Amino acid sequence: MYKNILIPMALDHGIGEAALAIARTLLAEGGQITALHVYEAPSGTASAYLDDKVVQEAYEKAKAKLEERAKDQPDVTAAIVKGHSGRGIIDFAVKIDADCIVLGSHKPGLIDYLLGSTAARVVRHAPCAVHVLREPA
């Protein structure tokens, strides 16, 4: 059983509920679950066309959506960080001393074999156990 479980959440995917159910199964009595969203601000050419206010509004919208998903979950704390998804998840897991990450993943495609998915990066570099949850086919 784990005392401090981190659940990274992509806010546009429904896998969060399944990840929460698994986290609760793995959670030790008195443990804590943290739902994390890593906000990736537009970069490269796209960022040149976006006003800072628009980017901040998008961040605030993502934060509100995460908080909405977590509000009725008494054993879940919501957190949002800015950065690259894989690195942000790993860094946050270290920061909160997570002992398990429950992470959703899609079926790998060719691009994932060439570049690697966020889940693959987290599995390779996480400082703790990682439970990967596949989306149903």
Q: Write the pLDDT tens digit of every residue in 105-125.
A: 766 655 555 445 888 899 999
Of residues 54 and 31, more confidence is placed in 31
Structure tokens at 104: 């959703």
Domains and CATH numbers, the chain: 2-134 (3.40.50.620)
**Rounded distance between C-alpha atoms, residue 22 and residue 103, angstroms:** 10
As a whole number of angstroms, the distance between CA 105 and CA 95 comes to 23
Q: How many CA within 13 A on the CB side of residue 107?
A: 2
**Percent of the chain scoring above 70 in pLDDT:** 84
How sure is the predictor about 137, in pLDDT bands with cuts at 50, 70 and 90?
Answer: low
Q: What is the pLDDT of residue 110?
A: 53
Query: Could you say which DSSP state residue 23 is in?
Result: H
CB atoms within 10 A of CB 79: 17
